[in-house]
Amino acid sequence: MSIRCILDLSVQGFSKIQLETQYISDIIEAGKEYEYKIRLKNVDTKDITIDPKIPEYSNYYDPSYIPAFGSDAIGISAPSIIKAGETANMTVKVKVLEKATGRYYGTIYMNVDGVVSTDYTSNPQLTLDLSVLKQPLVPYVKTFKTTNKKPITVEVNGYTNENPWLISPKREKPSYELKIRYNNKPVKMTFVKSVESSSIGIGGSNPLIWPINDKSIYQNYGSTYVETYTTPGAVGNWELSILPKNTQNFGYSITVGDSKLNKL
Both 24 and 104 in a single domain?
yes
Q: Which helix (H) or strand (E) holds 238?
A: strand 236-245
Alpha-helix runs per DSSP H in the chain: none
Both 35 and 92 in a single domain?
yes
Does residue 45 form part of some domain?
A: yes
∠ CA 124-129-133, nearest 5°, is 160
Domain that includes residue 89, residue range: 17-133
Please write the tens of the pLDDT for every residue from 44-83: 899 999 999 998 655 555 666 788 898 999 999 999 999 9
Q: Are 222 and 162 in contact (CB under 8 A)?
A: yes
Both 259 and 145 in a single domain?
yes
Q: Tell me the pLDDT band of 219, cut-offs 50, 70 and 90.
A: low
* Torsion over CA: 43, 49, 52, 53 (sign): negative
Does residue 8 form part of some domain?
A: no
Whole-model pTM: value is 0.73
Q: Which of 90, 110, 133 is the last residue of a domain?
A: 133
Q: Which of 116, 133, 150 is the last residue of a domain?
A: 133
Q: Tell me, what amino acid is at 137?
A: L
Please write the tens of the pLDDT for every residue from 83-137: 998 999 999 999 999 889 889 989 999 988 887 765 555 567 899 999 998 888 9
